[in-house]
């Protein structure tokens, strides 16, 4: 078993998602691997769904010599050997992958905040002296031009992108490239003022038309937690990222506001 754990550790360190499929129940029949044949093929395809949903779950299978169909809580698979088996699909990977464009004070602080939250952070900056000065908070540090990184590395759909480069023009160039490549991040945002985001939106609409989808665009970035130090800004951005990750469509004040029966004590 040591080899499989070494492989898991290797893939995690490389920022790769994986699924561990474990037989948790079976009849007195040994299949090898997780069963071979139809169940092996089915499990491999199911792993693709697990990677996409980033969730773990259990499924039960009835193996018999007929067509594949779902009946009650068991999935029937075409296998002449017959019997029953239960598989546990365990997703192994970070909460999500975050790409931070800009390794200045706020970008570096954000990487430090995200690391213990189990996000996998890649930080990109064209300034070698800035990248070289970073600690090991980011999982990956890239010394490359902002736009050239986007052109050369395909960022998969559903990732998180934070834009906090040292200049407005670089910020705009990164966002323009995201639109040009028709990327589909689950979250992308720019650290900026209200005026800056309005200027950018006007430019983007003029360049790409008014049918742009900005539903996953967050700017000014972060929640209104207060404070303007790099660390406080990083916590604000990380909080917003967490709210998107957990599907919190509307944030409603303090947790204590949910304790209705004790409201009279909280003045």
Domain range 97-245, CATH class? alpha beta
pLDDT in tens, 43-100: 888 899 999 889 898 888 777 664 444 445 666 555 545 567 788 999 999 999 999 9
Please report, for the chain, the start and end positions of each structural domain, with discontinuous segments joined by +.
2-92, 97-245
Write down the pTM of the prediction: 0.83
In the chain, which stretches have pLDDT less than 70?
A: 1-2, 26-37, 64-83, 252, 255, 258, 260-267
pLDDT given at position 266 = 56
pLDDT given at position 213 = 85
pLDDT given at position 31 = 42
pLDDT in tens, 2-15: 578 888 888 888 88
Kindly tell me the burial class for residue 110, based on how many C-beta atoms sit within 10 Å of its own C-beta (0-12, 13-18, 19 or more).
Answer: buried
């Amino acid at each position: 078993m040591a080899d499989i754990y070494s492989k898991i550790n290797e893939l995690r360190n490389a920022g790769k998602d994986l699924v561990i499929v474990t037989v948790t129940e079976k009849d007195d029949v040994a299949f090898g691997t997780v069963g071979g044949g139809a169940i092996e093929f089915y499990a491999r395809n199911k792993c693709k769904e697990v990677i996409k949903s980033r969730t773990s779950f259990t499924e039960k299978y009835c193996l018999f010599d007929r067509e594949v169909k779902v009946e009650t809580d068991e999935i029937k698979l075409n296998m002449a050997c017959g019997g029953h088996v239960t598989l546990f699909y365990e997703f192994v990977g970070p909460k999500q992958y975050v790409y931070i464009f800009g390794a200045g004070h706020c970008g570096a602080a954000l990487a430090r905040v995200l690391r213990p939250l189990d996000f996998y952070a890649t930080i990109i900056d064209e300034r070698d002296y800035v990248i070289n000065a970073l600690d090991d908070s980011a999982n990956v540090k890239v010394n490359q031009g902002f736009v050239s990184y986007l052109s050369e590395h395909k960022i998969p759909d559903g990732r998180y992108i934070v834009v906090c480069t040292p200049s407005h023009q670089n910020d705009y160039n990164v966002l323009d490239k995201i639109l040009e490549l028709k990327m589909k991040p689950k979250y992308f945002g720019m650290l900026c003022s209200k005026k800056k985001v309005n200027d950018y939106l006007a430019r983007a609409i003029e360049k790409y038309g008014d049918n742009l989808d900005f539903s996953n665009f967050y700017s000014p970035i972060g929640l209104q937690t207060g404070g303007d130090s790099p660390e406080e800004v990083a916590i604000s951005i990380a909080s917003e990222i967490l709210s998107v990750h957990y599907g919190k469509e509307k944030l409603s004040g303090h947790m204590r506001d949910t304790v209705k029966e004790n409201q009279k004590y909280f003045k």
